[in-house]
Amino acid sequence: MTVSIDLDSTDLDQVRADFPILNRVMRGGNRLAYLDSGATSQKPVQVLDAERQFLTTSNGAVHRGAHQLMEEATDAFEAGRADIAGFVGAAPDQVIFTKNATEALNLVSYILGDDRSAHVIGPGDVIVTTELEHHANLIPWQELARRTGATLRWYGVTDDGHLDLDSLVLDERAKVVAFTHHSNVTGTGSPVAELVARAKAVGALTVLDACQSVPHQPVDFRALEVDFAAFSGHKMLGPTGIGALYGRPELLAALPPFLTGGSMIETVTMESATYAPPPQRFEAGTQMISQVVGLAAAVHYLSAIGMSAVAAHEHRLVTATLEGLSEIPEVRIIGPADPAVRHSPVAFVVNGVHAHDVGQVLDDEGVAVRVGHHCAAPLHRRFGLAASVRASFAVYNTADEVDRLIAGVRRAIDFFGQRGSA
Amino acid sequence: MRLEQMYQDVILDHYKHPHHRGLREPFGAEVYHVNPTCGDEVTLRVSLSEDGERVTDVSYDGQGCSISQAATSVLCDLVIGQTVGDALKTVQAFSEMVSSRGADPGDEHVLGDGIAFAGVSKYPARVKCALLGWLAFKTAAAEATASLCEEKR
Q: Which domain holds residue A65?
A: 48-303
Q: What is the pLDDT of residues A215-273, one digit of tens each?
A: 999 999 999 999 999 999 999 999 999 999 999 999 999 999 999 999 999 999 999 99
- Which residues in chain B have their CB less than 8 angstroms from residue A376's CB? none
Q: What is the pLDDT of residues A133-152, one digit of tens each?
A: 999 999 999 999 999 999 99
A144 shares its domain with A270 = yes
Share of chain B above pLDDT 90, in %: 85
Q: Which domain holds residue B59?
A: 2-146
Q: What is the pLDDT of residues A354-399, one digit of tens each?
A: 999 999 999 999 999 999 999 999 999 999 999 999 999 999 999 9
A43 within some domain: no
Tell whether A354 is within 8 A of chain B (Cβ): yes
Q: What is the pLDDT of residues A183-197, one digit of tens each?
A: 999 999 999 999 999
Q: Which residues contact residue A163 at a Cβ distance below 8 angstroms, ignoring those fewer than 6 apart?
A: A130, A132, A155, A156, A157, A179, A188, A190, A191, A195
Looking at chain A from residue 168 to 227, which residues have their Cβ under 8 Å from any Cβ of chain B?
none
Domain CATH code at residue A164: 3.40.640.10
- Name the domain count of chain B: 1
Average pLDDT over residues B51-75: 96
Average pLDDT over residues B65-78: 96
Q: Which of A303, A337, A362 is the last residue of a domain?
A: A303
- Which residues in chain A have their CB less than 8 angstroms from residue B64's CB? 354, 356, 386
Domain CATH code at residue A356: 3.90.1150.10
Q: Which residues contact residue B104 at a Cβ distance below 8 angstroms, ignoring those fewer than 6 apart?
A: B96, B97, B118, B121
B24 within some domain: yes
- Give the residues across from B22 on adjacent strands: B60
pLDDT of residue B4: 86
A87 within some domain: yes
Q: Which of A271, A303, A335 is the last residue of a domain?
A: A303
Average pLDDT over residues A10-36: 96
A182 shares its domain with A260 = yes
Q: Decide if A175 contacts A126 (C-beta within 8 A).
A: yes
Instruction: Give the span between the Cα atoms of A347 and A82, in whole angstroms.
Output: 35
**A4 has pLDDT over 90:** no
B40 within some domain: yes
**What confidence tier does A5 reach under pLDDT thresholds 50, 70, 90?**
low
Q: What is the mean pLDDT of chain B?
A: 94
Tell whether A139 is within 8 A of chain B (Cβ): no
Interface predicted TM-score (ipTM) of this complex, two decimals? 0.90
A39 within some domain: no
A172 within some domain: yes
Q: Give DSSP secondary structure letters for B30-68.
A: EEEEEETTTTEEEEEEEEE-TTS-BEEEEEEEEE--HHH
Collapsed DSSP state (helix, strand, coil) of residue A18: coil
A298 shares its domain with A313 = no
pLDDT of residue A344: 86
Q: Which of A244, A269, A303 is the last residue of a domain?
A: A303
B153 within some domain: no
Tell whether B40 is within 8 A of chain A (Cβ): yes
Q: What is the pLDDT of residues B93-140, one digit of tens each?
A: 999 999 999 999 999 999 999 999 999 999 998 999 999 999 999 999
**What confidence tier does A65 reach under pLDDT thresholds 50, 70, 90?**
confident
A3 within some domain: no
Inter-chain CB proximity A419 and B39 less than 8 Å = no
A16 shares its domain with A108 = no
B151 within some domain: no
A184 shares its domain with A228 = yes
A337 shares its domain with A280 = no
pLDDT of residue A187: 93
Instruction: Give the span between the Cα atoms of A217 and A406, in whole angstroms.
Output: 25
**A286 has pLDDT over 80:** yes
Summary count for chain A: helices (H), strands (E): 13, 16
A270 shares its domain with A358 = no
Q: What is the pLDDT of residues B96-105, one digit of tens each?
A: 999 999 999 9
A19 shares its domain with A145 = no
Instruction: Give the span between the Cα atoms of A357 and A367, in whole angstroms.
Output: 13
B16 within some domain: yes
Based on the residue annotation, tell me whether A375 is a catalytic residue of this protein.
Answer: yes
Which one of B16, B65, B69 makes the best mutation probe of the A interface by having the most chain A beta carbons within 10 Å? B65
The DSSP output letter for A218 is -
A331 shares its domain with A383 = yes
B130 within some domain: yes
A192 within some domain: yes
Average pLDDT over residues A326-339: 95
A343 within some domain: yes
The DSSP output letter for A342 is B
Please tell me which residue of chain A has the smallest CA distance to B8.
A420
What pTM was estimated for this model as a whole?
A: 0.93
**A279 has pLDDT over 80:** yes
Instruction: Give the span between the Cα atoms of A74 and B61, in whole angstroms.
Output: 59
Beta strands in chain B (DSSP E): 29-35, 40-48, 55-63
A vs B, Cβ pairs < 8 A, gives 63
Per DSSP bridges, beta strands A95-98 and A174-180 are unpaired
Q: Which of A27, A360, A420 is opposite residue B15, by nearest beta carbon? A: A420
Per DSSP bridges, beta strands A163-164 and A243-247 are unpaired
- Name the domain count of chain A: 2
- Which residues in chain A have their CB less than 8 angstroms from residue B9's CB? 419-420
Inter-chain CB proximity A356 and B11 less than 8 Å = no
Which of A214, A237, A317, A375 is flagged as catalytic?
A375
A38 within some domain: no
Inter-chain CB proximity A364 and B38 less than 8 Å = no
pLDDT of residue A66: 87
A88 shares its domain with A121 = yes
Domain CATH code at residue B95: 3.90.1010.10
Q: What is the mean pLDDT of chain A?
A: 95
Per DSSP bridges, beta strands A388-391 and A126-130 are unpaired
A20 shares its domain with A77 = no
